[in-house]
Structure 1
Amino acid sequence: MRYYRRDLLTLLISLFILSSCKNPSGIGLDNNPGDSFYGILNDTLALHTVTLKDDSARSVFLPEDRTSNIPSINIGQLPFGYFKDDIFGETQANVAFTVLRPDEGDARLPEDAQLDSAVLIFRYGSSFVGDSVSSTYTVQVKPLNEIYGPVSTYYSNKVWDVKDEVIASAQIHKFRLTDSVAVTVKGSTGEDSTVKVSPQMRLRLDNNFVSNLFAHSLDSATLNSDAGFINHIKGFFLTVDKPNLQGIGGLATLGFSETRIDPSTGAINSVSPNGISITYHVKTEDGERDTTLTKMFPIPLPSTSQVSSYMSSNVSRSYSSTIQEQLANTNTNQTTVYAQGMGGLRTRISFPNIDQLKGKKIAINKAQLVIYVDEDHLGTSAGPAPRLTLYRKDIAGKNQPIPDGDSRYMRDPRSQYGLNGIGPKEALGGFYDKTNKRYVFNLTSYIQDVILDKVQNSAIYIAPAWDNVNINGVPFWSDINAPTRVVLKGYNETDAKAKKENRTKLNIYYTELD
């Protein structure tokens, strides 16, 4: 190994020659600050940036397969709503779901039951994109005309067969993701009480529809078996009535349960799933007074051992002319690029001239991909995604993690993920830096593999991911959990130099070997 020492004159000359390092516009071999060795800046290499349609996003849980080293795909929240984005265009996310019969007792209503109310309950998730102040939504529930299969695999591009009948409709002025809700609870003696519950959407279902759906006259043997119940119920469809939307709208997220944690011990006290809560009253045996009762038809939590989910999202889009033009011209380098979660859009970055680095006797000390938000084209509808993920494709075209951010059970030995508590942010990066308006990814091992010809297809892909670091580690797939989007500065060497602006770049720090 050879080390190079710089005297004052050499240092001044180097600083003059490398002045473009302040705003490098592409791949560069740069000196590692603080090291006594350095490389020669190679500013002749270019990046190629382009916007592509992403793969559809898996909308139900996938269990881990350690034998095949396939990680679990966890779904912690699902997108819902309608959003008129001034840059991306229109996006609608609906939720299809079904309920399960109660754990105990007859699924049917008693013969003499008089229905008081039937309320559909959905807990909110943690993410929102759009107008949180002035938009008003008409939210509707309709029956499915096909059976929702709890063990079926659904993706974001699933088109559901939905009946025209509206069995619930309500105007929502704001998706209140952080506001608790006051709920009136009827006691068994008819006395009402008010309790506060976690942030949730509550929709009153049509009493006649519910009474007929769970009528006592239905066959007991059929309705009280899991398969018979699901075949009878089929499922439901939660949607926003687009013609009655006021404002630009937004995309909220729906969670799967309410979890109450003891603040003193951190223990989980109870987990309450979503579902349909039916309140009704019947005569007591002596016939003198009514008794108020409740049946809960839950939307069960996703299984942790098999594909089993009772709710999923489907997402449809009508892209703006700007996005359509991008997607129609993917062979040219695009100086502004776009990424959208939920299986929408991703940015591909490739290195067409990286072969120039192959064969050089160098060891990569650090390689970082730096991507800046394009504020001039970001629009005013939504801010940058809090987090982006990055992955590659193998020779078979399948998504794969890069070694630096591998969070699978059997990880690349060079991955820092999980070592001494290191998480996604430190291992791979990709979290939004508000101060510098950029995302930084660590690609040291990956770039070394590319230069050593261990990777044949060197292109990488970038898309939004949920910023909840406890979910999915470092995903290398389309993330249904993230309704977010971002506009990025692609590669443009001319603009970077003329405007002295920061653009997408790859910084490489290396040691020259003998």
Structure 2
Amino acid sequence: MKFFRLDLLTLLISLFILNSCKNQDAVGLGVSSGQTASNLIDTSTIVVNTVPEDSVITSGLTKSPVSCFRDPIFGSTMTALATDLNLPGQGSYTPPTGTVYIDSARLVLNYANGFYGDSITSKYTINVYQLKSLFRTDTAYYNNKNFGYSTTNFADYSSQSPIGTLTFNARPHDSIKVYNIITGAADTLIKVPPQIRIPIDPSFINTNLFGASSTTLGSNTIFKTKVKGLLIKLDSTKTTGSGGSIMFSNADSLVVYYRSVIGTTIDTAVVKLPIVSTATSIHHNYSTAIRNELNNTKSGSRNLFYLQGPIGLRAKVSFPHLLQNFRASLLSNNQDVVINRAELVVTPQPGTYIPFAPMPKISMYQLDIALQRIELQDASSADARSGGVGVFGGFYNSTQNEYHFIVTAYVQDLLYGKTVDYGTYIGPIDNTNTTTVDIGATAQVASRTVAIGTDKNSPYRLKLNIIYTKVAK
């Protein structure tokens, strides 16, 4: 009898637990007998189109692309990096005494996270030029700035020969060893972070540093006005294969190794001319297919949409069915709706990500009444309904070949008229930020994604999955 009572108690507890379990459709809603939970998969009434990305300021970035990328779908992307050049210590400079012989000069560019393209078979040739006009550190340069070369075909700057050039393979993760020059002591071999070191013509150093006037060397401002700055770009005629976009950090400098000879005394030394400010110029020469998408003025949605960095393409998306039909049909039957969960599923087009992988992360955002970018409710830390960056999503799942966005609060507010759709977008974003949801256009990502839009013949078309609860008015 004792064991029978225990079994009966276990049975009663189990029935209580099972009875308390609710369908996922009604999680947290306290669904009563007058309410029903339902699913809605909206694919036919989503509208999505490819549009150009906004222009942005590219000066003062923590990393910048230098690109020669020939994408078989998008076309070619060329970017160039303009920089200032400063005296050692950014103050006055006194050249070494005695006879000075330059052993070598190297422009050091440190790799940063974000390489995109062919790092296996493509050979890259990078050139360095002296700018025609002064690079101003007090000026905000945009991505469409022309630093002395054609933005139509990206021909070499004027007819000037480069002051430095290097042919190399992109190895953004391989550290290298260089000699550390110690004055009055033996040189030592040290390991440095992944970087490229571009040989610079010694005559450029002699003219602008060791052989410059005391007036020029007496002021960093005068020196910069004379030198003007540097332009760094990949040579499209000598870069082989598909090429790519190489990200460089801005902790760079022009390093000069020299010998100072005084009588019978010879010593090796090094002097560094720091680079403090940079700006990137970006040009996309789109394929016919992409140009047709951008020039298509017909209303309606597209079977494919395109996301591209740096400062390339994004997508505008809207959900007119939600506003026009869904809730209205319920209200006409004396019912209303509460959204349990809304999820937008974006799928890259199969075959478009070999060998170039989809973007590791994308973002979704909206415009306010002033047409300025703001976070969706589900992405905003100011909204109590937000689950944070990890819940909001936008990360590429390579196993499922999908991106997911949780847009529950956004959809609920659209339905109830608490927010107005002044424009909602999906766009590229730098994947290195994992703590907040980025929404600004960025030059710091070079990857791309071809995604399936509202193609009725594709099982992977853009989907808005909604779990909702009908409630009596």
TM-score bracket for this pair, using the shorter chain length: 0.7 to 0.9
**Mapping 1:419-458, distance limit 5 Å:** 424-426=389-391, 428-457=392-421
| Equivalent residues of 2:59, 2:140 under 8 A apart | yes
Q: 1:58 to 1:105 in 2, by over 3 A?
A: closer
**Of 291, 297, 301, the match for 2:267:** 291
CA contact 1:464–1:482 (8 Å) conserved in 2: yes
TM-aligned CA deviation for residue 325 of structure 1: 1.1
* 2:306 pairs with 1:338: yes
- Whether the 8 Å contact between 2:64 and 2:248 is mirrored in structure 1 is yes
Q: Structure 1: how far apart are the matches of 2:41 and 2:101?
A: 79
1:338 Cα deviation after fit: 0.7
Give the match's secondary structure for 1:431: strand
Alignment partner of 1:395: what SS?
Answer: coil
Residue 384, structure 1, aligned to residue 384, structure 2: no
Larger deviation: 161-170 or 32-41?
A: 32-41
The 1:486/1:45 distance shift into structure 2, 3 A limit, reads closer
Unaligned runs of 5+ in 1: 1-29, 62-74, 257-272, 301-309, 418-423
CA contact (8 A) 1:156 1:342 kept: no
Q: Distance in 1 between matches of 2:463 and 2:130?
A: 50
SS at match of 1:327: helix
2:253 maps to which of 275, 278, 286: 275
Task: State whether structure 2 residue 117 is matched by structure 1 residue 130.
Answer: yes
Residues 203-247 of structure 1 deviation map (CA, whole Å, 9 limit, x = unaligned): 010000111011344133x43334223222211011111112221
Q: Counterparts in 2 of 1:5-84, with a 5 A limit? A: 31=25, 37-39=36-38, 41=40, 46-61=45-60, 75-84=61-70
Return closer, same or farther for 1:133/1:217 CA change in 2, 3 Å cut-off.
closer
1:109 counterpart = 2:95: yes
Q: Matched residue of 1:357: which SS?
A: helix
Distance in 2 (CA, whole Å) between partners of 1:44 and 1:130 is 33
1:245 is the counterpart of 2:203: no
Q: 1:91 to 1:342 in 2, by over 3 A?
A: same
Cα distance in 2 between the residues matched to 1:108 and 1:449:
66
Residue equivalent to 1:121: 108
Deviation larger for 39-48 or 196-205: 39-48
Give unmatched runs, 5+ long, in structure 2. Answer: 1-23, 149-156
Residue 484 of structure 1: CA displacement? Answer: 0.7
1:363 maps to 2:375: no
User: Could you tell me whether the CA contact under 8 Å between 1:143 and 1:165 is conserved in 2?
Assistant: no
AA aligned opposite 2:113: S
Identify the match of residue 481 of structure 1 among 429, 444, 467.
Answer: 444
Structure 1 counterpart of 2:164, from 161, 168, 175: 168
Residue 76 of structure 2: aligned partner: 90
1:401 maps to: 375
Corresponding position of 1:7 = none
1:469 maps to which residue? 433
Secondary structure of 1:333's partner?
Answer: coil
TM-score (norm 1): 0.77
Which residue in the other structure is 1:3 paired with?
none
Q: CA deviation at 1:274?
A: 1.0
Counterpart-to-counterpart distance in 2, 1:470 and 1:101: 37
Task: Kindly indicate whether the alpha-carbon contact (under 8 Å) linking 1:223 and 1:232 is maintained by their aligned counterparts in 2.
Answer: no
- Write the distance in 1 (CA, Å) between the matches of 2:295 and 2:428: 22
Cα distance, 1:122 vs. partner?
A: 0.8
Contact 1:47 1:350 in 2 (8 A): yes
Equivalent residue number for residue 230 of structure 2: 236
**Larger CA Rg, structure 1 vs 2:** 2
CA shift for structure 1 position 509: 1.8
Contact in 2 for aligned 1:384/1:487 (Cα 8 Å): yes
Distance in 2 (CA, whole Å) between partners of 1:131 and 1:482 is 16
Kept in 2: contact 1:81–1:239 (CA 8 A): yes
Q: The residue matched to 2:413 in structure 1 has which SS? A: helix
- 1:153 offset after TM fit, Å? 1.2
Do the aligned partners of 2:25 and 2:37 also contact (CA within 8 Å) in 1? yes
Superposed displacement of residue 507, structure 1 = 1.3
Task: Specify the code of the residue in structure 1 equivalent to 2:283.
Answer: S
Match in the other structure for 2:291: 324
What is the deviation of 1:42? 7.3
Amino acid in structure 2 at the alignment position of 1:244:
K
Once residues 51 and 244 of structure 2 are traced to their aligned partners in structure 1, the CA distance between those partners, rounded to angstroms, is 23
Q: State the identity %.
A: 28
What is the one-letter code of the residue matched to 2:308?
Answer: Q
Q: Distance in 1 between matches of 2:244 and 2:74?
A: 13
Secondary structure at the counterpart of residue 113 of structure 1: strand
CA distance in 2, matches of 1:108, 1:338: 54
Structure-2-length-normalised TM-score: 0.84
- SS of equivalent residue, structure 1 residue 425: helix
1:199 deviates by 0.2
Which AA in structure 2 matches 1:151?
D
Amino acid at match of 1:46: T
Q: Secondary structure at the match of 1:127?
A: coil
Q: Number of matched residues?
A: 426
Corresponding position of 2:248: 254
Give 3-state SS (helix, strand or coil) of 1:158's partner.
coil
CA distance in 2 between counterparts of 1:242 and 1:486 reads: 23
- For the residue of structure 1 that corresponds to 2:161, the secondary structure is coil
CA offsets, 1:266-294, max 9 Å, x none?
xxxxxxx310111222234xx33112221
Aligned counterpart for 1:208 among listed residues 191, 203, 208 = 203
Q: 2:134 aligns to what?
A: 147
